[in-house]
Structure 1
């Protein structure tokens, strides 16, 4: 193993794993190594967790039993996942010392055992699903939006955006609110609160007029909800005047927030749409009308994947589709931008925010917390990988806090805000040159191509080796070369 490329090669190797349920590789291991859990930890950037699951006694390096490789399901379609190589590399990560760290956090006055909630969607839409998630460690759920009506859904209603070898960059859905009756949903809420009293139940509601918002708020309060979330943001309701149509109108946001407040004493979250320029405007309207906090962001209006033979876009419903909601890892930068703008606004600085939009790993979660969120909601990652991702969200966050010397998760909330400033406040009187690690560089020329064709022609390649030579007189310090380097051989220099 070349230690210079451990992270890069590991990322490639674990990304090829199918992440099977009841993984055959783990069942086949004669030494009891939790192969699937270790690979998942590496996949979700929880390297400390992966190392923690390996011991010297397991001795993967000296094991000549190939049962795990022979059992690998991927071998049915292509090359098997290099499990032996992955385990050896995972064992080289240092273990984190055992220390007490507090992942609990209070949100809108409600104590939460950790900040991780299921967001309002199909992943939290009935009793059995949510109960299973609670058993696995999720602290709460924003239950799938409840209304006075049951929508008639289409089939299919999901589609995915891909890129190169990455099978899932973004996700589109055209699903509406809960397909259960109001009575069924209220029963789910009551049973969940009865059987899981320490878990947090957020009832997402959507009315069609003021009376409905008040009524829905009252009955979910009576059913045992801890928090109410007003869905002002669903981008693909089949009826006008619902969802994001409301969220783009500060007057309607204020009107329906006031109506919700009439029906409850509980904390109220106004769930914001990203389908506008300035989220702080409707957010302020909601807070002034009686909301307790903000939830952001909901999905982004989108069209994706036009089939160039049929010219139909996905998901195809008998040859037609509609504008839907885009989610997944690709929307994280957009979500963080909106959250930053709200938390840096004078009128919203102290407003509790439940953040969502592209959270897959503990690192993603930590970024939302660092920009001021005190609660986190997840959907698309659960739809891809299942509720089990909570194990690495909790473990990865715990090990991060320990390694960085924090004692509680609350200590990192908002720590990134001061480091983001308006563009005119950035230092424009200096150049930061790239620094090339020649021992790590493989001479592929990617940096040269990008600089020559998309930058400032500030690089040359050494004859023979292909390694970069900086032309300082042309370099403007944009760091495009660093961004495109496939082996992380370029760093920030002087």
Structure 2
């Protein structure tokens, strides 16, 4: 098998097998000072150019006889080490990419941000030490973990993850509430962070139980030095009624509480929307009309998952019981993007700034939110998996993308995808785009045939000798399920023809 032919597939598979160790032993063991862990992370997190450019011009792995990196690789304790020399040999076949100077700085609600990447309101930004570390590593801002006048009693455990085959973290569930620090402790965090990091952006997420509390919280976080206030109208699992998503589903409460916050501050106000609703535009409009300056979306989705086959309890397991929690992670990104699009195409909201979140792990995910109109991005679940260090590839990957596509600043991509999503009844329906099969790339696994026959239109057969697919043009409807399941990328979009001209 030609490694170069399948290098994208094999590189992704090999990079995905890396344990992403802290202070990686492989890097420490390299006698040539290669940033092994960083190179692998770059490729894994969609920053291929960053990975390629970190390889030395004369790849030293070719001269390395003892391969100490493989001996040090902790994955070898499980099965086999990550094939580092082989990976780097494949990476070295790519041309290195240059990067022109591009600007990631962008204004959000009138506040200058050095880049659009913020931590979202959660445990990943809940005290001074954590946020200071994130700021030092390059995050431009934080939406601090929601502040209230009360300290909730938390449960243990309170996290669980949804798995699929070998993927350990498709989705994530939490039943955590707002900050477990007192109000005075949280105000102290704000003061100290703004003193030490005056150019970073501090978004104070607040949640009150009455109009008076919302006004009071807005007043004290403003006095402490916050730059923006985010109203948490959307937490899906607060223990008391009249909080979180109960508010976000009720435009009247959104109106009343937004007005109450406006009484207590001159700062920009974001209304954080709940996805546990059919039309997010309704409460979003109510918030803007009541004095909010922008929207934050989406918060987590109400969920139940992982019912145990022995105990019949779903996760997280709290002394034999559980509750509905908030679902996040990569799996919710399409839902988040749908809500963002709905708001950015709604009259009265098209010019409203939106801070987008929900399933963002890489610069490419962030790009999708910005292309649909977001000027600001918030991240939590990915940080919980991989750490603050993902900011390196978010920043670098975005810079390489912008530079390679001729953009001078990140603001140039905001909203560019909106015009390409139209009502379903306006889509072109008079033609078929047939799949195109690369028979050199095809390995003959038959996945396309199985999916087409059992889940499609029985338009494919598998040749008895070559094992390659054979398409029946009379049956193919151009759904492209075959392309989606192909494990080696051997099926792409081919010729588009009018339905009246379908082959016989």
TM-score (normalizing by structure 1): 0.99
Is 1:403 the equivalent of 2:409?
no
Provide the C-alpha distance between the structure 2 equivalents of 1:253 and 1:65, rounded to a whole number of angstroms. 64
Give 3-state SS (helix, strand or coil) of 2:442's partner. Answer: coil
Give 3-state SS (helix, strand or coil) of 2:377's partner. Answer: strand
Cα pair 1:293 1:351 within 8 Å, conserved: yes
Q: How does 1:412-427 map to 2 (within 5 A)?
A: 412-427=413-428
Residues 166/225 of structure 1: CA separation in 2 closer, same or farther (3 Å cut): same
Provide the C-alpha distance between the structure 1 equivalents of 2:111 and 2:255, rounded to a whole number of angstroms. 24
Compute the displacement of 1:58 (Å): 4.1
Bigger Cα displacement from structure 2, 45-54 vs 133-142: 45-54
Compute the displacement of 1:97 (Å): 1.3
Cα pair 2:99 2:399 within 8 Å, conserved: no
Q: State the match for 1:451 in structure 2.
A: 452
Deviations 1:129-187 (A, max 9, x none): 00000000000000000000000000000000000010110000000000000000000
Provide the C-alpha distance between the structure 2 equivalents of 1:35 and 1:391, rounded to a whole number of angstroms. 15
Bigger Cα displacement from structure 2, 106-115 vs 73-82: 73-82
Is 1:228 the equivalent of 2:229?
yes
Cα pair 1:48 1:93 within 8 Å, conserved: no
Cα pair 1:186 1:220 within 8 Å, conserved: yes
Give 3-state SS (helix, strand or coil) of 1:384's partner. Answer: helix
Provide the C-alpha distance between the structure 1 equivalents of 2:271 and 2:245, rounded to a whole number of angstroms. 12
Consecutive unaligned residues in structure 1, runs of 5 or more? none
Q: State the match for 2:476 in structure 1.
A: 475
**Paired residues, number:** 494
| CA-atom RMSD in angstroms | 0.8
Provide the C-alpha distance between the structure 2 equivalents of 1:149 and 1:178, rounded to a whole number of angstroms. 9
Q: State the match for 2:354 in structure 1.
A: 353
Q: How does 1:270-419 map to 2 (within 5 A)?
A: 270-419=271-420
Provide the C-alpha distance between the structure 2 equivalents of 1:24 and 1:424, rounded to a whole number of angstroms. 56
Provide the C-alpha distance between the structure 2 equivalents of 1:462 and 1:85, rounded to a whole number of angstroms. 33
Compute the displacement of 1:229 (Å): 0.2
Compute the displacement of 1:94 (Å): 2.5
Give 3-state SS (helix, strand or coil) of 2:296's partner. Answer: strand
Provide the C-alpha distance between the structure 1 equivalents of 2:12 and 2:63, rounded to a whole number of angstroms. 23
Tell me which stretches of 4 or more aligned residues in structure 1 moved more than 6 Å.
none
Q: State the match for 2:160 in structure 1.
A: 159
Give 3-state SS (helix, strand or coil) of 2:20's partner. Answer: coil
Give 3-state SS (helix, strand or coil) of 2:26's partner. Answer: helix
Consecutive unaligned residues in structure 2, runs of 5 or more? 496-504
Compute the displacement of 1:62 (Å): 3.6
Provide the C-alpha distance between the structure 1 equivalents of 2:337 and 2:163, rounded to a whole number of angstroms. 22
Compute the displacement of 1:67 (Å): 0.3
Provide the C-alpha distance between the structure 2 equivalents of 1:336 and 1:100, rounded to a whole number of angstroms. 29
Give 3-state SS (helix, strand or coil) of 2:389's partner. Answer: helix
Cα pair 1:47 1:93 within 8 Å, conserved: no
Give 3-state SS (helix, strand or coil) of 2:65's partner. Answer: coil
Q: State the match for 2:170 in structure 1.
A: 169
TM-score (normalizing by structure 2): 0.97
Provide the C-alpha distance between the structure 1 equivalents of 2:287 and 2:456, rounded to a whole number of angstroms. 45
Provide the C-alpha distance between the structure 2 equivalents of 1:59 and 1:249, rounded to a whole number of angstroms. 62
Compute the displacement of 1:55 (Å): 1.2
Provide the C-alpha distance between the structure 2 equivalents of 1:46 and 1:169, rounded to a whole number of angstroms. 20
Provide the C-alpha distance between the structure 2 equivalents of 1:32 and 1:446, rounded to a whole number of angstroms. 42
Q: State the match for 1:266 in structure 2.
A: 267
Compute the displacement of 1:57 (Å): 3.5
Provide the C-alpha distance between the structure 2 equivalents of 1:45 and 1:351, rounded to a whole number of angstroms. 30
Q: State the match for 2:68 in structure 1.
A: 67
Cα pair 2:99 2:404 within 8 Å, conserved: no
Give 3-state SS (helix, strand or coil) of 2:238's partner. Answer: coil
Q: State the match for 1:28 in structure 2.
A: 29
Is 1:489 the equivalent of 2:493?
no
Q: State the match for 1:88 in structure 2.
A: 89
Provide the C-alpha distance between the structure 2 equivalents of 1:102 and 1:64, rounded to a whole number of angstroms. 43
Give 3-state SS (helix, strand or coil) of 2:191's partner. Answer: helix
Compute the displacement of 1:65 (Å): 3.0
